[in-house]
């Protein structure tokens, strides 16, 4: 005989579990808040050799923007099929011309609706599928950015994400995807060179960073439990006030020995970062840039002035526009899939995986 639980009993059990979770989250946030207060109080009294400035945080002022600002983003969609992995991608660039902080003109690169790129690979394992998707996107996005700089010479170019490869994007030497990774690293170098030669300040704006680099720096010189189970932006939400940034610091503690950064050659040691909190009710942004182009305060004021327009969503409008231009949706994939189907018919290679073709739920 099967005994059915009453809905009220099930809800009570759920509420009890959620109550415990809420308590733990509240305690953790209080620890971070108290530790953040101590760090602010002791700022300037403790030396942090790993940083490039004396204080842990600095005020950031707003400035009037009168220059050419570009952004590049990409949209990607795809599916693992029975015989191959099928990817669709669109890389889009946007250029805003600002005068007195108002957009007076805009241009799209290479066009308002860029052509869709396609890529297929077969025989990849589950890890290689992830690397393939990420590297195909990165390589196309970086190439678009380099060409945009060469053709339009913006004063700033913003990327949605890091200006360096991530460790999670690096396949092992023996992987079939490794050549694509090497090509992508070369695209990073080309982009740095293009930006440097054109005097274009290259910025990576990471809206949802999970890095722990800042935490690693301050935790070496500070006692407290608030650093456990957190990342930079989670902690800095409590430490930074609206219109403040952290000190600048190098991307890696030892760039010449870092598994990824050392592959960028001379450019690896020039990659710096700081965190910025443009508005009170949103998380800090991580901003990455190349040293030697503009000063820390100049870059921070520029990004702050672009990003503080909405009280609860701090992000540069030019990047938002690039994201919208690059976006792809499921209908576009279905159209491409249908076009392949019309050419190949009921080919076994086009069969969808069982998890994507269930006749029941």
Whether 18 maps to a domain, the answer reads no
Residue 16 lies in a domain: no
What pLDDT is attached to residue 1? 46
Higher pLDDT, 7 or 208: 208
Does 355 reside within a domain?
Answer: no
The 3-state secondary structure of the chain, one letter per residue: CCCCCCHHHHHHHHHHHHHHHHHHHHHHHHHHHHHHHHHHHHCCCCCCCCECCCCCEEECCCCCCCCEEEEEEEEEEEEEECCCEEEEEEEEEEEEEEECCEEEEEEEECCCCCCCEEEEECCCCHHHHHHHHHHHHHHHHHHHHHHHHHHHCCCEEEEECCCCCCHHHCCCCCCCCHHHHHHHHHHHHHHHHHHHHCCCEEEEEECCCCCCHHHHHHHCCCCCCCCCCCCHHHHHHHHCCCCEEECCEECCCCCCCCCCHHHHHHHHHHEEEEEEECCCCCCCEEEEEECCCCCHHHHHHHHHHHHCCCCCCCCCHHHHHHHHHHCCCHHHHHHHHHHHHHHHCCCHHHCECHHHCCCCC
Do the Cβ atoms of 133 and 86 come closer than 8 Å?
Answer: no
Q: Is residue 23 a part of any domain in this protein?
A: no
pLDDT tier at 10, thresholds 50, 70, 90? low
Query: Who contacts 128 (Cβ-Cβ below 8 Å, separation ≥6)?
Result: 121, 171, 175, 176, 177
Average pLDDT over residues 155-180: 95
Output b/e per residue, 274-286; b: 16+ Cβ within 10 A.
Answer: bbbbbbeebbbbb
Query: For 217-231, what is each residue's pLDDT tens digit?
Result: 998 887 766 677 889
Integer Cα distance of 172 and 354 in angstroms: 29
What is the mean pLDDT of the segment spanning 257-279? 94
| pLDDT tens column, 103-117 | 999 999 999 999 999
The residue-averaged pLDDT of 176-202 equals: 97
pLDDT at 5: 52
pLDDT (0 to 100) of residue 179: 96
In a domain, 144, yes or no: yes
Containing domain of residue 95, as a range? Answer: 57-331
Position 292 scores a pLDDT of 92
Per-residue pLDDT at 358 exceeds 50: yes
Nearest to 52 by CA among 302, 274, 256: 274
The model's pLDDT over 55-100, given as tens digits with 9 standing for 90+, comes to 899 999 999 999 999 999 999 998 877 777 889 999 999 999 999 9
- The answer to whether 351 and 82 are in contact (CB under 8 A) is yes
194 part of a folded domain: yes
CATH code: domain of residue 324? 3.30.2170
The pLDDT of residue 359 is 67
- The per-residue pLDDT for 20 is 85
Which range among 40-44, 156-160, 273-277, 352-356 shows the weakest confidence by mean pLDDT?
A: 352-356
Residue 156 in domain: yes
pLDDT tens-digit readout, 304-347: 999 998 888 999 999 999 999 999 988 887 887 778 777 777 77
Q: What is the pLDDT of residue 285?
A: 97
Q: What is the domain count for the chain?
A: 1
| Predicted pLDDT of residue 354 | 63
For the cut 90, the answer to whether the pLDDT of residue 140 exceeds it is: yes
- pLDDT score for 205: 97
347 lies in some domain: no
Share of the chain above pLDDT 90, in %: 62
The DSSP bridge pattern shows strands 201-206 and 285-290 to be antiparallel
Q: What is the mean pLDDT of the chain?
A: 89
Lowest mean pLDDT among 26-35, 56-65, 193-202, 225-234: 225-234
Tokens of 305: 């002035």
Weakest mean pLDDT among 43-52, 281-290, 292-301, 304-313: 43-52
**Hey, what are 76's tokens?**
């990607």
């Amino acid at each position: 005989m099967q005994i059915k639980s009453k809905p009220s009993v099930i809800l009570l059990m759920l509420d009890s579990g959620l109550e415990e979770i809420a308590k733990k989250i509240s305690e953790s946030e209080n620890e971070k808040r108290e530790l953040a207060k101590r760090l602010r109080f002791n700022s300037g009294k403790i030396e942090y050799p790993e940083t490039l400035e004396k204080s842990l945080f600095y005020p950031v002022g707003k400035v009037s923007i009168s220059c050419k600002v570009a952004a590049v983003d990409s949209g990607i969609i795809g599916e693992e099929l029975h015989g191959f992995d099928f990817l669709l991608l669109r890389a889009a660039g946007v250029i805003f011309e600002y005068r007195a902080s108002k957009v007076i003109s805009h241009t799209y690169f290479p066009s308002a609706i860029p052509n869709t790129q396609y890529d297929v690979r077969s025989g990849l394992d589950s890890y290689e599928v992830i690397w393939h998707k990420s590297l195909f996107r990165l390589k196309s996005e970086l190439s678009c950015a380099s060409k945009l700089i060469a053709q339009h010479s913006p004063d700033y170019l913003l990327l949605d994400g890091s200006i360096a490869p991530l460790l999670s994007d690096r396949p092992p030497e023996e992987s079939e995807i490794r050549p694509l990774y090497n090509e992508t690293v070369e695209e990073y170098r080309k982009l740095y060179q293009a930006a440097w030669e054109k005097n274009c300040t290259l910025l990576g704006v990471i809206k949802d960073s999970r890095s722990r680099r800042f935490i690693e720096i301050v935790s070496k010189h500070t006692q407290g439990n608030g650093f456990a189970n957190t990342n930079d932006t989670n902690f800095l939400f409590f430490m930074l006030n609206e219109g403040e940034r952290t000190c600048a610091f190098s991307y890696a503690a030892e760039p010449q020995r870092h598994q990824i950064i050392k592959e960028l050659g001379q450019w690896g040691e020039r990659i710096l970062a700081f965190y910025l909190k443009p508005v009170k009710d949103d998380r800090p942004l991580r901003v990455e840039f190349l040293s030697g182009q503009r000063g820390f305060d100049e870059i921070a004021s520029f990004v702050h002035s672009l990003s503080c327009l909405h009280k609860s969503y701090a992000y540069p409008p030019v990047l938002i526009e690039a994201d919208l231009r690059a976006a792809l949706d499921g209908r576009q994939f279905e159209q491409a899939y249908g076009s392949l189907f019309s050419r190949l018919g009921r080919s076994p290679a086009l069969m969808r995986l069982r998890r994507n073709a269930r006749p029941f739920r």
